[in-house]
């Protein structure tokens, strides 16, 4: 892997892949978190939609036709901490592909024509978003767990905020955050680093623009407690726990990830074994460490029947108590096995070049360290039972718990 900073401050990250394709990802710290109090909810996502409507050089129709011609796959995504634009082409077409995307992100016109229609598309997306019951459970949890953090509201915004957005507001957000010093491009390619760099400098090198930086979001402790909601469009129940991990350093996060691999990942995990294998109380169960800028927490996710909710809660709480107080479980042999499993899953995840590009770009944006994509599952020899238990006893307390139950 190579990292290069252009004269205008933009970062290029390169990794060689032998296949005859080139994947790339262009990213900005310009996600929903940056909306703050200055911009309406959903502004960042609306900008992502509008940059490809028209540029100074191409109509929307011309953009769409060239995308179909050049790309085997291309897309864009707005998250809380970032927005990314990514795609995969034949290596021989990389110059065409990166020229097109440079035009999209550097030269959008934000046209009046089609603007309201595009906002209507976002409103339809909002309806589908709410129809996803797993997503709805997480969104409800974040809304109830926090008072100030941007993540308490949907990335996409609300019906009211989307309807009230103006092109002037979108242009203002774009002009503030779409800047070379706030941009990272990753490329995984069979082309040489020199070939990639030549094209990036050709299409991005003359892009110069001032940038005032991003504000770090204030930390906020989650509200502990159980939040219950009854809804009409489900038959079973959904449960999600949230534990705050804002104050963990990188080494402590590694210890938590080792624990999570044993506690909530796979069919031999503690949660799966206790809740599904032994008792058959849930059809979906697992846990996750979320460690992105502005949203750092450990979650437990369970789909069960309405009648089993109380029993599942009891088992989860009992399992947490046992792992926090059980000596001898995380011995050296167990930890080595978990570390191997973590490395295997990371390699499988990064097998696709486009996924690797997305990871490299977003890690550089969020942590100023694309190297962390690999280092998270390396140098784990210092992890031992004492370290794991120290982290667990800091993290596994005062959860926010969201429960969705059917309205009967």
pTM, two decimals, is 0.93
CA distances to 46, 179, 187, 214, 395 from 54, in Å: 14, 19, 25, 27, 47
Over 90: is that where the pLDDT of 166 sits?
Answer: yes
| SS3 assignment, position 26 | strand
- 205-232 pLDDT, tens digit per residue, is 999 999 999 987 778 999 999 999 999 8
pLDDT (mean) for 241-259: 93
10 Å CB burial of residue 211 (0-12, 13-18, 19+) is: middle
Over 90: is that where the pLDDT of 327 sits?
Answer: no
- 48-93 pLDDT, tens digit per residue, is 999 999 999 999 999 999 999 999 999 999 999 999 999 999 999 9
Please report, rounded to a whole number, the percentage of residues in the chain having pLDDT higher than 90.
82
pLDDT at 199: 97
Give the chain's mean pLDDT: 94
Q: How far apart are CA 367 and CA 342, in angstroms?
A: 20
pLDDT at 197: 98
Q: Which residues pair with 14 in a beta bridge?
A: 2, 187
Q: How far apart are CA 191 and CA 389, in angstroms?
A: 46
| Residue labelled with tokens 């009211």 | 160
The residues, any chain, with a CB within 8 Å of residue 90's CB and separated by 6 or more, are 20, 21, 22, 72
pLDDT (mean) for 363-392: 90
pLDDT at 297: 94
* Structure-block tokens of residue 73: 């796959």
Are the C-beta atoms of 178 and 30 separated by less than 8 Å? yes
* Structure-block tokens of residue 102: 């440079």
Over 90: is that where the pLDDT of 286 sits?
Answer: yes
Work out the pLDDT band at 181, boundaries 50, 70, 90: very high
Work out the pLDDT band at 36, boundaries 50, 70, 90: confident
pLDDT at 292: 93
Instruction: Determine how β-strand 83-90 pairs with β-strand 295-304.
Output: unpaired
For residue 126, the tally of other CB atoms under 10 A from its CB is 18
pLDDT at 22: 97
Structural domains of the chain, ranges and CATH numbers in brackets: 2-204 (3.30.830.10), 225-330+384-406 (3.30.830.10)
| Residue labelled with tokens 């550089």 | 364
The residues, any chain, with a CB within 8 Å of residue 194's CB and separated by 6 or more, are none
Work out the pLDDT band at 378, boundaries 50, 70, 90: confident
pLDDT at 228: 96
Please report, rounded to a whole number, the percentage of residues in the chain having pLDDT higher than 70.
100
pLDDT at 96: 97
DSSP string, 122-175: HHHHHHHHHH-HHHHHHHHHHHHH-SS-GGGS-TT--HHHHHH--HHHHHHHHH
pLDDT (mean) for 290-298: 93
* Structure-block tokens of residue 86: 């990514």
pLDDT at 9: 97
Over 90: is that where the pLDDT of 123 sits?
Answer: yes
pLDDT at 357: 97
Over 80: is that where the pLDDT of 381 sits?
Answer: no
């Amino acid at each position: 892997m190579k990292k290069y900073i252009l004269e205008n401050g933009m970062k290029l990250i390169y990794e060689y892949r032998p296949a005859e394709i080139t994947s790339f990802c262009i990213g900005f710290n310009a996600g929903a978190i940056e909306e703050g109090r200055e911009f309406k909810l959903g502004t960042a996502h609306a900008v992502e939609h509008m940059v490809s409507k028209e540029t100074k050089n191409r109509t929307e129709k011309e953009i769409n036709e060239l995308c179909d011609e050049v790309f085997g796959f291309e897309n864009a995504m707005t998250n809380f901490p970032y927005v990314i634009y990514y795609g995969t082409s034949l290596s021989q077409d990389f110059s065409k592909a990166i020229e097109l995307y440079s035009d999209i992100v550097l030269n959008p016109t934000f046209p009046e024509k089609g603007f309201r229609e595009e906002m209507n598309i976002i409103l339809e997306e909002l309806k589908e978003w709410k129809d996803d019951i797993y997503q709805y459970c997480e969104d409800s949890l974040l809304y109830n767990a926090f008072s100030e953090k941007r993540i308490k509201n949907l990335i996409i915004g609300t019906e009211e905020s989307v309807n009230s957005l103006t092109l002037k507001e979108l242009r203002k957000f774009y002009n503030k955050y779409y800047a070379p010093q706030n941009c990272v491009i990753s490329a995984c390619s069979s082309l040489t680093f020199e070939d990639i760099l030549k094209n990036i400098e050709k299409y991005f090198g003359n892009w110069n623009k001032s940038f005032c930086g991003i504000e770090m979001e204030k930390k906020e402790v989650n509200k502990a407690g159980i939040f219950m909601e009854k809804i009409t469009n489900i038959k079973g129940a959904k449960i999600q726990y949230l534990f705050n991990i804002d104050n963990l350093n990188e080494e402590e996060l590694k210890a938590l990830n080792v624990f999570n691999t044993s506690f909530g990942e796979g069919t031999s995990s503690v949660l799966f074994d206790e809740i599904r294998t032994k008792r058959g109380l849930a059809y979906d169960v697992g846990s996750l460490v979320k460690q992105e800028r502005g949203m750092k927490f450990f979650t437990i996710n369970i789909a069960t029947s309405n009648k089993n909710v109380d029993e599942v809660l009891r088992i989860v709480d009992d399992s947490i108590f046992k792992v926090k107080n059980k000596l001898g479980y995380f011995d050296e042999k167990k930890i080595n096995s978990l570390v191997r499993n973590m490395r295997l899953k990371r390699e499988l995840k990064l097998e696709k070049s486009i996924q690797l590009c997305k990871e490299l770009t977003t890690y550089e944006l969020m942590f100023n360290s694309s190297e962390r994509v690999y280092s998270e599952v390396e140098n784990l020899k210092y992890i031992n039972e004492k370290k794991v238990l120290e982290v667990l006893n800091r993290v596994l307390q005062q959860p926010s718990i969201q429960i969705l139950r059917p309205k009967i």
